Amino acid sequence: MSERKYLAGEFFLSGDDACAEGAISAGCCFFAGYPITPATEIAERMAERLPEVGGNYIQMEDELGSMAAVLGASWGGVKAMTATSGPGFSLMMENIGLGIITETPCVVVNIQRAGPSTGLPTLTGQGDMMQARWGSHGVYSIIALSPSSPQELYDLTIKAFNLSEKYRLPVLVMSEAATGHMYEKVVIPLPGEIELVPRRKPTVPTSDYLPFKPDPDLVPPMANAGEGYHLHVSGLTHDERGYPAMTAEAQDRLVRRLVDKIEQNKAEIIELEEDGIRGAEVVVCTYGISARVSQIAVERARGEGIRVGMLRLVTVWPFPDDRIRDIAREVKAFVVPEINYGQIALEVERCACGRAEVVLVPHMGGGVHAPETILAAIRRAVR
Amino acid sequence: MGEVGLKKHPLDDYLRVERVPHIWCPGCGLGLMVNCFLRALVKSRLDLDKVVVVSGIGCTGRGAGYINLDSFHTTHGRAIPFATGLKVANPELTVVVISGDGDLVAIGGNHLIHAARRSIDLTVLCVNNFIYGMTGGQLGPTTPLTARTTTSLRGNSDEPLNVPYLAAASGAAYVARWTTAHVRRLEKAVTEALLKKGFSLVEIISPCPTYYGRMNKQGTGLEQMKYYRDNSVIKSGLDPKQVAIEFNGQIIVGKFIDLG
């Protein structure tokens, strides 16, 4: 058995490996998964690394079971995750919904490939962004992060665990094959230098504890199974005791809170990276691997004298409505390059509300945009 | 009701009495199942703070909600993988899955097979009423050939699964079948299953007078119980391959697998 536990220092890692190391740094002790290209390397590294830190890897029979096991493990008191790609992400939707209604902290990583269906298993895509938002049935809000580099796959996996514990829900890390399989320098801090959010535990006596009674920020403290609370946790609409409550009133109370605990804490959740937006005529709104390509296009456009800014969505969901609305008042147009036929562009359009034009630069998947394609869109947008 | 209504049942401490009355129909076997489980729990002397019940969806799936332990009512078919995560995350817990045949053998059948294959230390109580009760009496994975349901009005033409054989073939360490008429033997089997290291499954044949009984002219819950009493044959140790259930045939019960 290897002596290594927590790595620290500079490493040359793939995005998938960096994601796994981020999970280890975050204190993840459980991974349930099923092999799927291009996310398999995360499972492989977790299978190797978890026993070194006292955790467990379990290979499930499918992604339905993987997601269910992750929820079970979280209630068993450990930080838990899974990683998959499109077809597996579709199967996980069922129990992501259970994670939402039972307020179960966990992390789901989607290394996107091109779809629909089996599509292009080894090649990149960003076609699951709307599925991330709406893929499970019913009414809810979600948190999804979009890393642009192996370093960010490390950093944002830690952030995803922190957000999941803080707001008690499955948090999605929406990356792509291009980033997952990219090798770059990844800096891993010493364990003491990483900020980790612990699970919020009940402070009242066992007999007074109501498992779904929220604190003022709308998030309830969480007891784990085996701690003597005799919890009831159900996928049915429930009251503060966790008991099924089959009325429109109970539904309103619960579901409104599940949405509001995200929407009312947006300012704290949303992370954006902005560059040269003040005074810009056009802003490229981008995320994930597309931001890397956009960066080249933006620099070339600036070389041509075009006043172009860049807004990178590190947090994709909840969507930064207010910021897009503000920018829409100042610019002529948004350019939105995506490896799909327009998903986040629809959100930008919704928030721009006709005040600024929204130019979608679609790519059906299998590769990333050529910078020239984005540059051409920027040129057209300022014309 | 008078004084009778005020008396405390000896198992009240193990129930969420504030949730009674339950949703189950008169004559349903699920109350007996819960009773046997709770008696087995007492007998097992397990630390009740460390016993967790996980259910899927359906009539039996509501079981978790009435039992005063840590209890999880999950998604349809996924009780076993959820329970697997719980057990792996905290091996101190005794994790019991209580769900129906539709939940565990049809939509969740793959998880049942693989949990048994993995020998994960779970106790599964599979209540088999031969039909989907919660949705109003449709054909299930255990519905006997020729039996009538709302989706097999002309008689079921699909071969049913033999649950003990499936569990045994997949690698279960303990497999038994009893009916809700065998309360003492069922209690004993559940106790053994709770204390068994490895994957254990007890199939519990249970009456559904509202749907299965009515559609197949088997009468009230009580009459179905009498049928179990008169037509069950105890054959412990029998090869589970030979315990398939035929329509209106005898029901072979007993402990079929108990690996040392």
- Asked if A62 lies within 8 A of B71 by C-beta distance, the reply is no
Q: Is there a domain that residue B211 lies in?
A: yes
Count: domains in chain B? 1
pLDDT for position B230: 97
- Asked if B52 lies within 8 A of A225 by C-beta distance, the reply is yes
ipTM of the complex: 0.97
**Per-residue pLDDT band at A143 (split at 50, 70, 90):** very high
CATH of the domain at A363: 3.40.50.920
Q: Is there a domain that residue B122 lies in?
A: yes
pLDDT for position A200: 97
Report the alpha-carbon distance of residue A21 to residue A157 in Å, rounded.
9
Query: What contacts B25, CB < 8 A, 6 or more positions away?
Result: B133, B208, B209, B210
Q: A6-21 as b/e, with b when 16 or more CB fall inside 10 Å?
A: beeeebebbbbbbbbb
Amino acid symbol at B86:
L
Q: Tell me which DSSP letter residue B25 carries.
A: P
Instruction: Tell me which residue has tokens 């076997």.
Output: B29
Q: Is there a domain that residue B229 lies in?
A: yes
Residue B158: how many other CB atoms lie within 10 Å: 12
Contact A173, A153 (CB under 8 A): yes
Q: Is there a domain that residue A373 lies in?
A: yes
Does the beta carbon of A202 lie under 8 angstroms from any beta carbon of chain B? no
Same domain, A186 and A282: no
Instruction: Tell me which residue has tokens 């949730």.
Output: B19
Report the alpha-carbon distance of residue A313 to residue A145 in Å, rounded.
8
What share of chain B in percent tops pLDDT 70? 98
CA distance B48 to chain A (A): 8
Through-space distance between the first and last CA atoms of chain B, rounded to whole angstroms = 50
Instruction: Tell me which residue has tokens 């147009």.
Output: A333
Per residue in A158-184, pLDDT (tens digit) is 999 999 999 999 999 999 999 999 999
* Nearest alpha-carbon partner for B257 in A164, A113, B243, A84: B243
- Asked if B85 lies within 8 A of A64 by C-beta distance, the reply is no
> Which of B62, B66, B69, B73 has the highest number of chain A CBs within 10 A, making it the mutation to test binding with A?
B73
Q: Which two tokens stand for residue A381?
A: 């947008």
Q: Is there a domain that residue B8 lies in?
A: no
- Residue B99, classed as helix, strand or coil, is strand
- Asked if A61 lies within 8 A of B113 by C-beta distance, the reply is yes
Report the alpha-carbon distance of residue A263 to residue B130 in Å, rounded.
46
**Per-residue pLDDT band at A10 (split at 50, 70, 90):** very high
Among the candidates A150, A173, A193, a domain finishes at A193
pLDDT for position B18: 93
Segment A135-140 shows an average pLDDT of 98
The list of chain B residues with pLDDT below 50 reads 1-2
pLDDT for position B4: 58
Helix (H) or strand (E) holding B225: helix B221-231
- Category of B119 on φ-ψ map: left (φ > 0), alpha (ψ -120 to 50) or beta: left
**Range A1-4 contact pairs with CB under 8 angstroms and sequence separation of 24 or more:** A1/A51, A1/A52, A2/A52, A4/A52
Contacts of A243 in chain B (CB under 8 A): 16, 19, 65
pLDDT for position B1: 44
Residue A117 has pLDDT above 50, yes or no: yes
CATH of the domain at A53: 3.40.50.970
Q: Is there a domain that residue B202 lies in?
A: yes
Among the candidates A152, A170, A193, a domain finishes at A193
Amino acid symbol at B74:
T
- Residue B147, classed as helix, strand or coil, is coil
Q: Is there a domain that residue A186 lies in?
A: yes
Report the alpha-carbon distance of residue A250 to residue A30 in Å, rounded.
33
**Per-residue pLDDT band at A2 (split at 50, 70, 90):** very low
Q: Is there a domain that residue B14 lies in?
A: no
DSSP structure string for A173-233: EEEEHHHHT-EEEEEE--GGGS--PPP----S-GGG--TT---TTS----PPTTSS---EE
Query: What contacts A283, CB < 8 A, 6 or more positions away?
Result: A277, A308, A309, A310, A311, A327, A331, A333, A334, A335
Nearest-CB residue to B90 (from A226, A229, A235): A226
Per residue in B206-250, pLDDT (tens digit) is 999 999 999 999 999 999 999 999 999 999 999 999 999 999 999
pLDDT for position A314: 98
Q: Is there a domain that residue A258 lies in?
A: no
Q: Is there a domain that residue A229 lies in?
A: no
Rg (CA), chain B: 17
Contacts of A231 in chain B (CB under 8 A): 70-71
Contact A185, A152 (CB under 8 A): no
Segment A234-260 shows an average pLDDT of 98
Q: How far is CA A324 from CA A9, A341, A349, in A?
A: 37, 20, 9
Q: Is there a domain that residue A160 lies in?
A: yes
- Asked if B74 lies within 8 A of A77 by C-beta distance, the reply is no
- Give the structural domain span for A165: 9-193
Contact A81, A87 (CB under 8 A): no
Q: Is there a domain that residue A69 lies in?
A: yes
Q: Which two tokens stand for residue A185?
A: 């320098």
- Give the structural domain span for B254: 30-258
Same domain, A129 and A278: no
Contact A179, A150 (CB under 8 A): yes
Report the alpha-carbon distance of residue A199 to residue A166 in Å, rounded.
7
Instruction: Tell me which residue has tokens 């996107």.
Output: A112
Pairing mode of beta strands A272-275, A282-286 = unpaired
CATH of the domain at B187: 3.40.50.970
Report the alpha-carbon distance of residue A315 to residue A337 in Å, rounded.
16
Rg (CA), chain A: 21
Count: domains in chain A? 2
Q: Which two tokens stand for residue A362?
A: 């679609």
Segment A68-97 shows an average pLDDT of 98
For A65, name the nearest residue in chain B, comparing CA atoms only.
B81
What share of chain A in percent tops pLDDT 70? 99
CA distance A75 to chain B (A): 7
Query: What contacts A19, CB < 8 A, 6 or more positions away?
Result: A42, A83, A109, A153, A154, A157, A173, A175, A180
Per residue in B145-155, pLDDT (tens digit) is 999 999 999 99
Q: Is there a domain that residue B132 lies in?
A: yes
Instruction: Please provide the average confidence, as pLDDT, over all residues in chain A.
Output: 97
What share of chain A in percent tops pLDDT 90? 98
pLDDT for position B15: 96
Same domain, A165 and A288: no
Does the beta carbon of A64 lie under 8 angstroms from any beta carbon of chain B? yes
**Per-residue pLDDT band at A1 (split at 50, 70, 90):** very low
Q: Is there a domain that residue B11 lies in?
A: no
Contact A31, A161 (CB under 8 A): no
Amino acid symbol at A333:
A
Contacts of B71 in chain A (CB under 8 A): 230-233
- Asked if B85 lies within 8 A of A68 by C-beta distance, the reply is yes
Q: How far is CA A371 from CA A287, A299, A342, in A?
A: 15, 10, 18
Q: Is there a domain that residue A246 lies in?
A: no
Same domain, A297 and A161: no
pLDDT for position B7: 79
Report the alpha-carbon distance of residue B131 to residue B249 in Å, rounded.
17
Same domain, A284 and A179: no
Report the alpha-carbon distance of residue A168 to residue A201 in Å, rounded.
12
Report the alpha-carbon distance of residue A188 to residue B114 in Å, rounded.
37
Same domain, A64 and A166: yes
Among the candidates A166, A193, A220, a domain finishes at A193
Contacts of B48 in chain A (CB under 8 A): 230
CB half-sphere exposure, A207, CA atoms < 13 A: 0
Report the alpha-carbon distance of residue A360 to residue A351 in Å, rounded.
15
Report the alpha-carbon distance of residue A218 to residue A269 in Å, rounded.
14
Report the alpha-carbon distance of residue A238 to residue A336 in Å, rounded.
40
Q: Which two tokens stand for residue B199?
A: 């994957």
- Asked if A68 lies within 8 A of B93 by C-beta distance, the reply is no
Q: Is there a domain that residue A244 lies in?
A: no
Contact A124, A365 (CB under 8 A): yes
For A224, name the nearest residue in chain B, comparing CA atoms only.
B70
Residues A159, A160, A164, A170: what is their CA dihedral angle, to the nearest 10 degrees?
180
CB half-sphere exposure, A23, CA atoms < 13 A: 36
Report the alpha-carbon distance of residue B98 to residue B54 in Å, rounded.
6
